[in-house]
Structure formats: structure tokens, C-alpha cells
Amino acid sequence: MIPAPLAGALACVVIWFVLGGFSLVPAAGASFARRAAFPLGALAGLALAAFGLRAIWEPAASATLLLGLPGMPFHVRLDPLAGFFLFLLGAVSTAISISAAGYFRGETPGRLALIGLQYFVFLASMALVILADDAYLFMVAWETMALASYFLVTTDHQQSAIRGAGFLYLLIAHLGALAILLCFGILHGGRGDYTFAALSSAHLTPQWATVAFLLAFFGFGAKAGMIPLHAWLPEAHPAAPSPVSALMSGVMIKTAIYGMVRVIYDLIGGVRWEWGVIVLVIAAGTTLFGVLYALMQHDLKRLLAYHSVENIGIILLGLGMSMVFIGFGHPMAGALGLIAALYHTLNHAVFKGLLFLGAGSILHARGLRDLNDMGGLIRTMPKTALYFLVGALAISALPPLNGFVSEWLTFQVALQAPILGHSVVRSILPLFAATLALAGALTAMCFVKVYGIAFLGQPREPRHPVRDPHAHSGGDVGPMEQFGMAWLAAGCVVLGVFPVAMLTVLNRVAASLTGTGLSTDALASGWLWLVPTTPAQASYSPVIFLVVIVGVVLLTALLVHRFYHGRVRRSDPWDCGFPEQTPRMQDTADAFGQPIRHVFGPIYLMKRSLPGPDDASPRFVLKIEDRHWYWIYLPIARLADFVSARVALLQQGRISFYLLYSFLTLIALLVFVA
């Protein structure tokens, strides 16, 4: 008999598959998808989150399903690590599914039926990736997830740019899947058993263990969006419908983090500090690259996509520090690094899902994605503006919201560097912490730009046509889209104000992987104080911080009301002698990022074009491109074209040539094999 949490999780997966199938039923499919499928999918997500949270506190449970191939059935397992990621998937997908019910309401029946099928298959396949307990089921679910998300990305496949974005995503996804498959092959070693229990019992030499680690890091990093494998992410996220973008950025790339933790900590084991240094170097580059390129974007969804790259780097910083400490024989500090990484994984899923839903609300209500076309949206979309502000503060790591907690924990891990015996590694860990600090400051600057330009100021006259055919010029979005954003905004507040409860949950997850958890001082500090190590070293109380903020605001309001009420004179602001202010005189998104372009100029590939004398609308154009395209991707593409052109010469279309090839192959086999 399958234990209750595992049976409940599998039932939620089956419900998602059934909802996807019912969405394709003729005639009634579109109506069902519009009215019932997404709300029912949200309820299944909520139940999955509950089962995942329960599994963290119970012993690991496993089962063999009556599916698969003869002699190779599917195996599933629910342990604390899988339970945590199922909780993340269920909680975030609940909000996104509710929002999707309102977002897709205006779709045509044919498109809506296909979207419903692909959407729920996508959710179910992500859950199966987390539940898989053998390499066979894992790869089947992994490829199903990639294909379902590809079809969702290319929903508007009539546009060539979207088809190109989908192809790039699928290409990099399959390259990563090939690396993961090779990693499983090394762990398998020809023993005939693909269960994770058999793979984890493999006795690898240090060299083969490192090869397996590198393959896993490359394969899962391609799906996560770390550099230089990030190229698909800023292309695919803007191309997909906004709820799909929220699901991909908030949840799908976290399945890559799950796979990375599962394979490195659980299946390979014997974590080495050299692996951690490799992860830290890639993580630092990913973090800075993501935030610097996000600052240069004026397409809101593309900007958020680059911030996903940045936050994957922050998660990898925590994982890299964890590996370094475990490799040097400090499992307690390593557990803290793993907890910081997993906490930021959850936090990023919540606030990035919120921000993508906010961007989708703007697109759905106004048909705008370009920041230079926005302005004054706080007046016409006040609720969206409020929820987006919560997400912007959270991603900027401002207390007392959730983004601050996980980044603060990552800093606390770096401050454990003095316990390391290796002088070089001990000296470079603070440098990676400085990278995180710089990224946090640049992120805050970026979202000052986003919120100030999009929601504040005066409305601008859009220079680009409406991109969403269902966009309207009325007020805010509907109640379902607002509820989805409110759910995630509440998550940002709860995870930020009450982090001690989540720390206890994540401590069980870390202990199941590393064999040890946090100190008793950290766990005995109570709900009011967050203590990562000992109270003498560091502590943080978000509740007291929140009380201080509220007290200062109320005291200021009281003093202003007591001493200045009635004395304020309202008048127009200083106009520099030119009172005819227009929306065009406001800062644009491009102008806001100009100081960063000057400071970090060598990082960007900038192309400037000046208007000619015959241009109908003279305008200076600045285009910033990713150097990785010219350093890595285009050379590989040209090499592939060159090789394929030479190989094509073998295809003569004549049977005599093909018989000759077969004869030569047979002779070569007889000579070299026999």
C-alpha cells in the first residue's frame, strides 16, 4: 500500500493529467478549460503543497508503479527534499493557475483547449521529475516537461521570433538532457539497475565522480539558465504567455536546482570542495551578468528574465559555499549554505511569479511590454501597482520581505570562512559575498527604474502597437488575476516576517542530505529571532524590524499632523522657468541605465545608430547585445553549418554510392572489430 503523502501527491499528478485531457474534449473542451480546469488545477496544486509539506516531517516513502517497460517499471519516492520542492510547485502553481483562469478567458476555443492540455501536462511532468526514483522515469518526465513547455512558449507560433525562441530553448534543453543522461550512465556503470538507490551505491573513483559532477552541473545548469547556457531564457520567457512565463521562471528552472541537489548530494555523494569552487565562480558570473543586463532592458518581461538568471546565480552561490564547507569537513556550515540556497529557491519562485503575473496584467490590460511606453499606471491599475511593489521590494532584498532573509543567510554562510583551513579558499569566499552585495544594490536600482517609469509619473503615448489582442483600455485586471498576485504577495510577506518556521523545515531537508543540521542554539532561538549559528554571532528579528518600521511611520504621521497640519501649501513643483511639462520630458528606461553603461561598458556589446538626414522620424537607437552570442553560439552554429554542408556531399541520390558506403563500412568493421 502506498503511504498517504506519496499517494496524495500521485493523485494530484493524475488530476492534472486528467484536466489536460478533458480540455481537449470536442465542443465542451474550451468551455471546461475556461470555467473549471484552471480553478480545479489550482485546488490540486494546493493539495500537492500540503502533501509535500507533510512529507518533510515523515520518513521517506517509495513505491513501484505498474507503468514503464517490462522489467523496468517506474519507481517513485517522496522524501524531505522531494517534499520541499513539491510544496514549492504546489503553492506557486496554485496562484498562477488562478491567475491563468482570468488571463486566458478571452482566448479562442481551439487555442484555449491546446493551452489547457499543455499547461496541465507541464505541471504534472514537473511533479513527476520531483517524485522519480529511477533514471528512466526521471528522463521521461524531464523530456515531457521540456516538450510541454516548448509548446507553451510557441503558443503564438505565427511570429518567426517566437518560433526561433522556442527552437533555441528546445535545443539547449536537449543538450542539457544529454549531459544528464551521460551522468546517469556513469553512475549506472552497466549494472542493469537504474533506480536511484542503485546509482547512489556506485563506487566511483575521484576522477569519474568529478566527471559525473561536471555533467550534472552542465545538464541541470542548462535548464536553470546559468551562464553561458542562459541564452534561451531571455528569449523564451518574453515569448511565452505571462502565466507560462511565471510558471517557467518561478517553478521550472527550480526543478533544475532540485536535480542538481539530488544528483550531487544524494546520488554522487562525497562532495569535494573543488566542486564548490567551480560552482562559486560560475555563480558569481551568472549573478553579475544577469543583473547588469537586466538594467539595460526596456522590455519588462525580458528584464524579469535576466533577473531570473541573476537569482539562479544567487542560489548557486549558496550551493557552492555549502559544497566548499562540506568538502573541508564542516557539515554544519555546509548545511547552512544548503538551507540558504533552498530558501532563496522558494523565495525566488514566489516573488518572480508575482512579478511576471504583474507584467502579464499590464500586458493584458494595456497591451504594453516596453517600459518607455508606460507611465502613471498606479492611477488606473492601483491593485496591480500594490502587488508589483511588494514583488519589487522582495526581489530587491529589502527587509522585512522574503528576499532579504535568504540573501542574509547567504551572507552568514560566507562569514563562516575563518573556520576553513585552506588560506586561498578562506580569502576568496568574502569576494563572492561582495558579488552578492553588488548584485543586491544593482537590483534595487533596476526596480526603482521599473516602478518609477511604469507606475509613477505621467502616462506616455505608446510608440509601439498593442501586442495583446485582448488588451483593453479600462481599469485594472479581473478578480482572478488579482487573486493570483495577492496570493504570492502574501507569500512574500509571510516568508519574510516568519522565517524561523521555514528554517526548521529546511533544516530537516538539509539534515536528510548532509547527515547534520544546524546547531541547537539556532533551533532553540524561538519564533521571534532568526539565528543561523549562535546568538553571539548573528541574529535577525523581522517582527521587531516590522514593528520599528510601523512605529516610525506612525510617529512621523503624528508629528506632521500635530505640528504641520494646516500649514502645508499646495502648488505646482518648480518648473525651471518652463511650466509646459510633457510626458516626453520624463526619464526613459534607457536614460536611467546610462550611468551603469558607462561604468560597466566593456561588459556590454553596444551598437549605436544615428539618424540620417532622410529619416522620416529621426531617432538615436542604442542596441545592447549579449557577447555570448558572438563568442560561443554563432561560432558553433557556423561550424554546424560547415560540417552539415560537407556531410551533405555524401548524399548523391544514387543507389550505387549507398551500396559502396555499406561495403566500406562492412570492411572497416571486419578489420577493426574482428
pTM of the model: 0.91
Do the beta carbons of residue 596 and residue 606 sit within 8 Å?
no
Task: Give pLDDT, residue 568.
Answer: 65
User: Nearest to residue 631, comparing CAs of 595, 605, 656, 657?
Assistant: 605
The C-alpha cell of 7 is what?
499517494
HSE, CB side, 13 Å, CA atoms: give it for residue 265: 26
Amino acid 516: pLDDT: 85
Percent of the chain residues topping a pLDDT of 70: 91
Q: Cβ atoms within 10 A of the Cβ of 47, count?
A: 17
The confidence band for 669, taking pLDDT boundaries of 50, 70 and 90, is: confident
C-alpha 278/C-alpha 287 separation (Å) is: 14
Give residue-wise pLDDT tens across range 187-208: 987 677 888 988 988 888 889 9
Low-confidence winner among 158-162, 243-247, 319-323 (lowest mean pLDDT)? 158-162
Please report the sign of the dihedral spanned by the C-alpha atoms of residue 168, residue 174, residue 177, residue 178.
negative
Task: Please compute the mean of the pLDDT values over residues 642-651 and round it to a whole number.
Answer: 80
Using a 10 angstrom Cβ sphere, with 0-12 exposed, 13-18 middle and 19 or more buried, the burial of residue 586 is middle
Map residue 68 onto helix, strand or coil: strand
| Calpha distance 346→315 (Å, rounded) | 10
From the CB of residue 454, how many other CB atoms can be counted at a distance below 10 Å?
A: 29
Distance of CA 638 to the CA centre of its chain: 30
State residue 597's pLDDT score.
83
Cβ pair 68, 74 in contact under 8 A = yes
Task: Specify the pLDDT at position 31.
Answer: 67
Distance CA 214, CA 221 (A): 10
Q: Are 23 and 29 in contact (CB under 8 A)?
A: yes
Residue 482 makes CB contacts below 8 A (sequence gap 6+) with: 383, 384, 387, 476
pLDDT of 422 > 90? The answer is no
- 457 pLDDT tier (thresholds 50, 70, 90): confident
- On the question of a cis peptide bond just before residue 542, with omega within 30 degrees of 0, the verdict is no
Lowest mean pLDDT, pick from 30-44, 307-321, 606-620, 657-671 = 606-620
- SS3 labels along 447-492: HHHHHHHHCCCCCCCCCCCCCCCCCCCCCCCCHHHHHHHHHHHHHH
Q: Tell me which of 138 and 648 has the higher pLDDT.
A: 138
d(CA 278, CA 282): 6
Q: Look at residue 348 in the predicted model and tell me its pLDDT.
A: 95
Find how far residue 523's CA is from the centre of its chain: 29
Domain positions in the chain are 285-555, 627-672
Whether residue 110 has pLDDT greater than 60: yes
Give residue 616's pLDDT. Answer: 60
